[in-house]
Chains A and B, each alone.
Chain A
Amino acid sequence: MLTAAAGVLTSPLAPDDFRAMVNPLWSRQRLSGRVEAVVPETSDASTVVIRPGHGWREHLAGQHVGIGVDIAGVWHWRTFSLSSPPGRPDGLVTITVKAGPGGFVSRHVVRRLRPGGVVRLSQPSGRFVLPEILPARLLFVTAGSGVTPVMSMLRGFALAGDMPDVFHAHVAPTGPEVIFGDELRRLAARFPSLRLHEHHTRPGPGRRARRPTMADLSAACADVADRMAWVCGPRGLLDGAEAYWRAAGLADRLRTERFQPVRRPSAAPGGRVRFVRSDREVVADGGTSLLAVGEEADVVMPSGCRMGVCRTCLARLADGRVRDLRTGEEHGDPGDLIQTCVSTAVGDVDLDL
């Protein structure tokens, strides 16, 4: 009622447009956060401490969030796992970002983002979380920046002062390059029920150890099969884990989180893509997601995980057919809702965007 009345006074804008002018964190329409600090973790990873604005819903440990970053005047969105535990007394949340080689957004975040900057946020989401009733024994397998969602869980346990029986295997090139290395070792020292097993793939100068396999894991942790497992890391690790648990007939005990989409390369030609409501038309190849095609054409494209998980990017297909980047499968009838982040054009496509 009050908002409707205020809306009369601000028409054609919304009262929110004026609130956001005073403080972007007050906007309910455009959830934002203020960067409070950027803390280096390793040589190429940093933690960004964020104060989320009004309307932020607290996350569950393990969930991820979409972050919009203004780089040279253009908003770019990427997904990051929250590394902070839910219920931090100061209300702050953190993400921990590893600058990939040539990574456009991650390098900006690690090297250029400064306290005081404003980022945009989506609400946290994701199913890489703990069940309501904790299993008796847990297994975490992480590699590189894949430790972030698990860190949120461990910090949550530590905050509650109650660490369940956890075996945590982590893979990193060297000791100093373990993100949260010191904190993990401190936690393991403090809680006997947490066993930390670090595997370094470059244990000394010039020395290179092989990547650990599932066999190494079962050697280190005798009761792998009895534990509920959470695995997060690069593609190879996840593929190996999925095959292992499936072969053991225990696929339901495994939770995974992928940072990179599974992609099946396709040489199929694309087509003309028309964004009907935005009145834009561009030519797309068969390898670029419709999400990227739209962003390139300056169409407002909803997006979240950008890898086919969250369905934030759903758009109505008005005409044409698309190919799923993950499976290579061709599909689509007029009216279908498609995930633009994992769909490419097969011939001409009209999207209701």
Chain B
Amino acid sequence: MSGSTHLSARDIEEFGRELDRLRAEVIASRGEDDARYIRRVIAVQRGLEAGGRAVMFASVVPPAWLAGTAMLSVAKILENMEIGHNVLHGQWDWMRDPDIHSTTWEWDFASPADQWKHSHNYAHHTYTNVLGKDRDLGYGMLRVSPEQPWHPIYLAQPLYNLGLAAVFEWGIAIYDAEIDKAWQGEKSWGETAGQLGRALRKAARQGLKDYVAFPLLGGPAFLPVLLGNLTANVTRNVWAHTIITCGHFPEGTRTFTEEEMAEESRGDWYLRQLLGSANISGPAILHLLSGNLSHQIEHHLFPDLPSNRYAQIAPRVRDLCERFGLPYTTGSLPRQTASVWRRITRLALPTVSAARV
């Protein structure tokens, strides 16, 4: 692994120790303020959700539709990103609150929490950016690294990536059932069908709520409410897709081979997380709405530290990278998004595979 940078094995160990220290420091200082933070975000989110839906009922007045839809969109974004994703990572388990705990949380997303936890927390966060191991590398349908063999289907990938953005939660739900693994005989079809069934039931409940129950409650506002909910879901999907693809696919992020990952030390692991991730720079509101995945680097180094702390430790991680002469990939949202699309468009075409992106 040290081969991928100029660092010696000893440097990498030291780099790892520094990060371990940083982690220990945050853990020792977790407390009341952090607890208040997540409780407040949850309260704001639920308020926005209830408020947004209520306002939407008054949709005969067009500004009410807009306001309600905007509130609900923000609520859904917060629910998935700053709350759901991070709670499911166990970032708040230390509070010992069964109401805000990774083992009890369920979210407004088509994929059931436990299936997502397996494919995300375990598979993606352990094997980050390792070709053939990290299924999040292109989600089994995108070619995001020149090492992935080309296939004519990829010619259409800019197009279907756009489509994926709109239906992101459904894509992830199907993806989390790991149909590809069943296809390759790595797991049974029975298990896969069971998972798909559960995902479908979960998704049906979410659909019933957004596309039947609330529109019916809206009475004369049936159609506006339905459209408002649809808009909020699509907005959330596109936003989540944008933020998440900016985490590992922009220029500057690296992929790894299984050989590189073999016999990795703790320092090597940290290094791979750093080199495989990219941040998004921007104002505090961007960090909040991205679930602090704008601090993708810090999140990948410390997936279970409370998200409100990432912004606080980011400058120190960056200093550390500077000290060790390591890259720290970051850029504004427009820049990183453009970079992702450039890569996806470029890799739609066949390339000579040896060249690194």
Binding site for B on A (CB under 8 A): 8-9, 11-13, 17-18, 20-21, 30, 70, 72-76, 277-278, 295, 298-300
Complex interface: chain B residues within 8 A of A70 (CB): 35
Nearest to A27 among chain B residues (CB) is: B99
Which parts of B303-330 form the interface with A (CB within 8 Å)?
Answer: none
- Take A70-B35, A298-B94 as given contacts and tell me if A8 and B104 are in contact as well, using a CB distance cutoff of 8 Å: no
Which parts of B12-57 form the interface with A (CB within 8 Å)?
Answer: 30-36, 42-43, 46-47, 50
Closest approach, in angstroms, between the C-beta of B202 and any C-beta of chain A? 7
A30 to B47, CA, bound (A): 20
- Take A8-B209, A12-B106 as given contacts and tell me if A74 and B94 are in contact as well, using a CB distance cutoff of 8 Å: yes
**B46 near A75: Cβ-Cβ < 8 Å:** no
B281 part of interface (Cβ distance < 8 Å): no
Contacts A8-B205, A298-B94, A298-B96 supplied; 20 other A-B pairs, CB < 8 Å: A8-B209, A11-B205, A11-B206, A11-B208, A12-B106, A12-B202, A12-B206, A17-B46, A21-B46, A30-B98, A30-B99, A73-B34, A74-B35, A75-B95, A75-B96, A75-B97, A278-B102, A298-B90, A299-B103, A300-B101
- Take A18-B50, A70-B35, A73-B30 as given contacts and tell me if A12 and B107 are in contact as well, using a CB distance cutoff of 8 Å: yes
Complex interface: chain B residues within 8 A of A73 (CB): 30-36, 94-95
Name the contact of A72 in the complex, choosing from B32, B93, B217 (C-beta under 8 A): B32
**B202 near A72: Cβ-Cβ < 8 Å:** no
A11 to B102, CA, bound (A): 17
B270 part of interface (Cβ distance < 8 Å): no
Closest approach, in angstroms, between the C-beta of A255 and any C-beta of chain B? 33
**B96 near A300: Cβ-Cβ < 8 Å:** yes
Closest approach, in angstroms, between the C-beta of A63 and any C-beta of chain B? 24
Complex interface: chain B residues within 8 A of A76 (CB): 96
In the A-B complex, the 4 residue pairs with the closest CB atoms: A73-B35, A298-B93, A12-B106, A72-B31
Can you list 30 A-B contacts with CB-CB less than 8 angstroms, sorted by A residue number?
A8-B205, A8-B213, A9-B209, A9-B217, A11-B208, A11-B209, A12-B108, A12-B202, A12-B206, A17-B46, A18-B50, A20-B99, A70-B35, A72-B31, A72-B35, A73-B31, A73-B33, A73-B34, A73-B95, A74-B35, A74-B94, A75-B96, A76-B96, A278-B102, A298-B94, A299-B93, A299-B103, A300-B98, A300-B101, A300-B103
Complex interface: chain A residues within 8 A of B108 (CB): 12
A18 to B30, CA, bound (A): 26
Complex interface: chain B residues within 8 A of A21 (CB): 42-43, 46-47
**B31 near A278: Cβ-Cβ < 8 Å:** no
Complex interface: chain B residues within 8 A of A72 (CB): 31-32, 35
Complex interface: chain A residues within 8 A of B30 (CB): 73
Complex interface: chain B residues within 8 A of A299 (CB): 93, 103
B65 part of interface (Cβ distance < 8 Å): no
B214 part of interface (Cβ distance < 8 Å): yes
A11 to B107, CA, bound (A): 9
Which parts of B207-233 form the interface with A (CB within 8 Å)?
Answer: 208-209, 213-214, 217
A72 to B30, CA, bound (A): 8
**A74 near B96: Cβ-Cβ < 8 Å:** yes
**A18 near B31: Cβ-Cβ < 8 Å:** no
Nearest to B104 among chain A residues (CB) is: A300
Name the contact of A277 in the complex, choosing from B50, B99, B103 (C-beta under 8 A): B103
**A9 near B96: Cβ-Cβ < 8 Å:** no
Complex interface: chain A residues within 8 A of B50 (CB): 18
A75 to B35, CA, bound (A): 11
* Interface-central residue, A8, A20, A73, by most chain B CB under 10 Å: A73
Interface string of B276-287 (1 = CB under 8 A from A): 000000000000
Complex interface: chain A residues within 8 A of B217 (CB): 9
Closest approach, in angstroms, between the C-beta of B23 and any C-beta of chain A? 15
A295 to B145, CA, bound (A): 43
A227 to B143, CA, bound (A): 84
Closest approach, in angstroms, between the C-beta of B157 and any C-beta of chain A? 32
Complex interface: chain A residues within 8 A of B43 (CB): 21
Nearest to B33 among chain A residues (CB) is: A73
Complex interface: chain A residues within 8 A of B42 (CB): 21
Complex interface: chain A residues within 8 A of B102 (CB): 278
A20 to B43, CA, bound (A): 10
Complex interface: chain A residues within 8 A of B94 (CB): 73-74, 298
Complex interface: chain A residues within 8 A of B101 (CB): 300
**B46 near A18: Cβ-Cβ < 8 Å:** yes
Complex interface: chain A residues within 8 A of B95 (CB): 73-75
Complex interface: chain B residues within 8 A of A8 (CB): 205, 208-209, 213
A295 to B47, CA, bound (A): 31
A11 to B90, CA, bound (A): 21
Complex interface: chain A residues within 8 A of B46 (CB): 17-18, 21
A295 to B94, CA, bound (A): 9
**B205 near A278: Cβ-Cβ < 8 Å:** no
Which parts of B78-111 form the interface with A (CB within 8 Å)?
Answer: 90, 93-99, 101-104, 106-108
Closest approach, in angstroms, between the C-beta of B124 and any C-beta of chain A? 15
Nearest to B202 among chain A residues (CB) is: A12
Nearest to B118 among chain A residues (CB) is: A279
* Interface-central residue, B43, B202, B209, by most chain A CB under 10 Å: B209
Complex interface: chain A residues within 8 A of B96 (CB): 74-76, 295, 298, 300
**A9 near B214: Cβ-Cβ < 8 Å:** yes
Interface string of B245-258 (1 = CB under 8 A from A): 00000000000000
Complex interface: chain B residues within 8 A of A277 (CB): 103
Nearest to B112 among chain A residues (CB) is: A12
**B103 near A278: Cβ-Cβ < 8 Å:** yes
A12 to B102, CA, bound (A): 14
Nearest to A21 among chain B residues (CB) is: B46
Nearest to B45 among chain A residues (CB) is: A21
Nearest to B38 among chain A residues (CB) is: A73
